[in-house]
Chains A and B, each alone.
Chain A
Amino acid sequence: MIFKRLIIQNFRQFQGEQEIVFSTENNKNVTVIHGFNGSGKTTLLNTFTWLFYATFSPDFENQELLETEATFAQLNINKELVTSAKLYFEDRDKTYMAERKQIVTKTLDGKRKVLQSPTLTVHFHKLNGEWEESRNPQDLLEQLLPKPLSPFFFFNGERIEKLASSDAYKDIEAGVKILLDIEVYDRAIKHLNGEIIRTLRREIGKRSGKKGEQVENEIEQLEEQQDNINKKIQQSKARLQKIEEEKKRIDEILLENPELRLLQEQRQNQEKARENKKKESVETEQQLAQEVSQHGYLILVSNVLQKAEEILDTAYQKGELPIDMKRPFVRDLLEKQQCICGRELAPGTESYSCVEKWHDRVGVGSEELEKAVIRAKGSLPSLRERRTRALEKIGILQEKRGEIEEEIIKIGDDLSEISKKIGGRELSEDYDYGKLEKQRKKAEEAISELNLEIGRDSQKSKSIGGDIQQKERELNTIAKSDLQGQLAQCRLDTVNNVREAIEKIRYLRQKELVEDISERLNRIWNKISIKDYKAQFTDEYRLNLVKKIGTLEQQVSGTSTGEKQILSLVFIGSLVDKARSIYREKNKSQKNINQKHLFRGGLYPLVIDSAFGQLELDYRRDVAHLLPTLAPQIIIFVSESQWRGEAEKSLISNVGSQWILECSTPKERGKKITLNGKEYSYIVESKDEFECTQLVEVEV
């Protein structure tokens, strides 16, 4: 999506009809809009959100009063006043025109009356060049730029740091999932797994006799149980998140106290170390379980090995082994009709019959047995050696497990000591540290309990899932009474196979995206940040800064607002950049033709009010360097102080279009601004008592 021009009419301080043309050039993709405080920068940002979604940012006051004050004052009784915003834009090679319009009138008593509440129309260019009006304009617009994405594309740089706060991950998750095509897979899995499969199974149940109906009912009951457990898990997770946030809040308070900071940092390190030890313990347990499952039988068969050896030795001593007489030898005697003693062996004679009995006695089994016995005897030493090795390995692993457990206990003791020290601090003016420490302990216990509960419930849900699968297999095997039943079974099989394929694709996709965004994020963050922190985007859609302490990575607490602003901006840039590369790959790649429809991507502009916020000069310069690379189109609103110096120097070569919000105010206070070597009015004295703003284009 690339914005071409915006026409606003009687929108707040923008009196009459005014137009702004955005830069659409590739290497000059930045449009800068200069404005004094209160000249309409935030209003312009809100024009976009009003036009797209009929919403405003929380700092946009008196949201119902959109029309220009001065125009309304001059409006005659019963005359109409139109307030509108019209945007021309391109998306995926198609041109659109979206307009939201509101009409108000003045009543006899001079009051404002809404004649037409905000109404949206969207037109798009047909192939023949004519405009066609969309029948579902809001749907169309939200298809092109879904609402959960709006905080990523229309934002105030001074408030963007909230994306890096701990409670923002839900917003991030919703936006990222849509932007990067994960949501579409989640929904497909949910819908296929829900109503679609249930309907088909009911159909099969109906057509599989009484037994089929019974199995189908059982499946439904199991699913209900599983749904209830899953809901409980979700509730527990939500509670867990709240408690974790509370604990984090307490930790931040403790970190703020210079006397407690060291203790708190020690605690955080120890907690991280305990977490790692717990992971190590789980890994050791797994190794132990694997060793026992692979070689455990050797430990249990110790007596058997010994007994086998004794039996074989006895058999050898008694001369029962090896078996002297071989079957081919006896057969040979019978064929030659002569015994080894020289007697003739004529068929039918007693001698022949005697030797024939020997042939049967030395049967096939005996030879096979002898071979097996020889093999067994040969492998006994190696089995004994393997047994010794397995015992040694198990011993080492058990010892390691013991050591880890001891270390965990020791860390626990240290933590308890730290907790006592913190809790024993005297009251400060602001906080009762003893009380805070108690709250923290309570939170820790609750977290531990909830984690256990979630683990238990997840296990239950998984087990019911297994039962459901078992019942489904049972239902599959029950004969279907007619063709309809068979058809429903075929459809169910198709749905199940496709659902499984989508689950696998979604898993691969998410893994690749999280890794890729983390990598992009970190690369840009490293270039800008002066601190040795690492930017991290986790599987749970959390945006973190981590620092390395020894061999451990620890989440940074107490990040400054400026750092959070940069991190958030870099994060948005990484997302938009990724969406752009998916879009380009999709259009270029012919290699995997089957995958073309799977992922969509897109080109998105960034519209940023106060892009440089309150950043230091160095950061301001780096962000200015970065901005043109973040998205295919950048529209920024700046005050003179934000623009001058580093930002201007770094950005100017990428600026394709500049505008001034020339602000008229009743106060006698004029101000000029010099841009591209030319002087422009910045603040002028108005002719009446109203404030208004005029959009003025800066000459290139």
Chain B
Amino acid sequence: MKKINEKESMQEQIQEILEALTEEEYVFLKKVIEAERKLLYRSKPLGINDNIRKAIEEIVK
């Protein structure tokens, strides 16, 4: 039971972190994670900085 509570508390804390972000920030976070995940299999993810830069430029205009 304690474990479940701790887990829910972790999820709630993450939820709070996400909700504290603005809409733009949330979309950017999502895009960063997606971009990183796509290149996760590469030890040197070439082009990742360009992908993140494009994302921030698209989102914050």
Contacts and interface: CB of A to CB of B under 8 A. Distances in A.
Interface of A: 139, 142-143, 146-147, 178, 183-185, 187-188, 191-192, 194-196, 199-200, 487, 490-491, 494-495, 497-498, 501-502, 504-505, 508-509, 511-512, 515-516, 519, 591-592, 594-595, 597-598, 600
B28 A508 contact: no
Contacts of A143: 38, 40-41
A509 B6 CA distance: 12
Given A196-B56, A494-B28, A498-B28, A597 B18 contact: no
A199 B38 CA distance: 23
A597 B33 CA distance: 8
Nearest to B53: A196
3 cross-chain pairs, A with B, having the tightest CB-CB distances, nearest first: A142-B41, A195-B49, A146-B41
B21 A491 contact: no
Contact of B60 (A139, A487, A515, A516): A487
A502 B56 contact: no
Nearest to B49: A195
B50 to A, nearest CB: 9
Interface string B26-45: 10111011101110111001
A196 B26 contact: no
A146 B39 CA distance: 10
Contacts of B60: 487, 490-491, 494
Contacts of B3: 516, 519
Contacts of A597: 30, 33-34
A200 B49 CA distance: 12
Given A494-B60, A501-B18, A501-B21, A595 B11 contact: yes
B49 A191 contact: yes
Given A184-B36, A491-B60, A497 B25 contact: yes
Contacts of B38: 143
Contacts of B18: 501, 594-595
A483 to B, nearest CB: 11
Interface of B: 3, 6-7, 10-11, 13-15, 17-22, 24-26, 28-30, 32-34, 36-38, 40-42, 45, 48-49, 52-53, 56-57, 59-61
Contact of B33 (A178, A184, A511, A519): A184
A498 B21 contact: yes
Contact of A598 (B14, B19, B24): B14
B40 A187 contact: yes
Contacts of A142: 41-42
Contacts of B32: 188, 191-192, 498, 502
Residue with the highest number of chain B CB atoms closer than 10 Å, among A185, A487, A495, A519: A495
A519 to B, nearest CB: 7
A491 B49 contact: no
A199 B56 CA distance: 12
Nearest to B13: A508
Given A491-B56, A498-B32, 15 more contacts: A142-B42, A184-B36, A191-B49, A200-B56, A490-B60, A494-B56, A494-B60, A497-B22, A501-B18, A509-B10, A509-B14, A511-B10, A512-B7, A594-B18, A600-B37
Interface of A is mostly: helix
A195 B3 CA distance: 39
Contacts of A187: 36, 40, 45, 48
Nearest to B52: A196
A504 B59 CA distance: 22
Contact of B15 (A139, A194, A595): A595
Given A487-B60, A494-B24, A594-B26, A192 B52 contact: yes
B2 to A, nearest CB: 11
Contacts of A194: 49
Between A147, A187, A519, the greatest number of chain B beta carbons within 10 A of the residue's beta carbon is seen for: A187
28 contacts: A139-B41, A139-B42, A143-B38, A143-B41, A178-B40, A187-B40, A191-B36, A194-B49, A195-B49, A196-B52, A196-B53, A199-B53, A487-B60, A494-B60, A498-B29, A498-B32, A501-B17, A501-B18, A501-B25, A501-B29, A508-B13, A509-B10, A516-B3, A592-B14, A595-B11, A595-B14, A597-B34, A600-B37
Contact of B57 (A184, A491, A502, A516): A491
Contacts of B48: 187, 191
Contacts of B22: 494, 497
Contacts of B10: 508-509, 511-512
Contacts of B57: 491
A504 B56 CA distance: 20
Contacts of A191: 32, 36, 48-49, 52
Contacts of A178: 40
B45 to A, nearest CB: 7
A184 B31 CA distance: 12
Contacts of B11: 591-592, 595
Contacts of B26: 594
A141 to B, nearest CB: 9
A35 B48 CA distance: 46
A221 B29 CA distance: 28
B58 to A, nearest CB: 11
Given A195-B49, A487-B60, A597-B30, A497 B41 contact: no
A183 B61 CA distance: 30
Contacts of B45: 187
Nearest to A181: B37
B33 A598 contact: yes
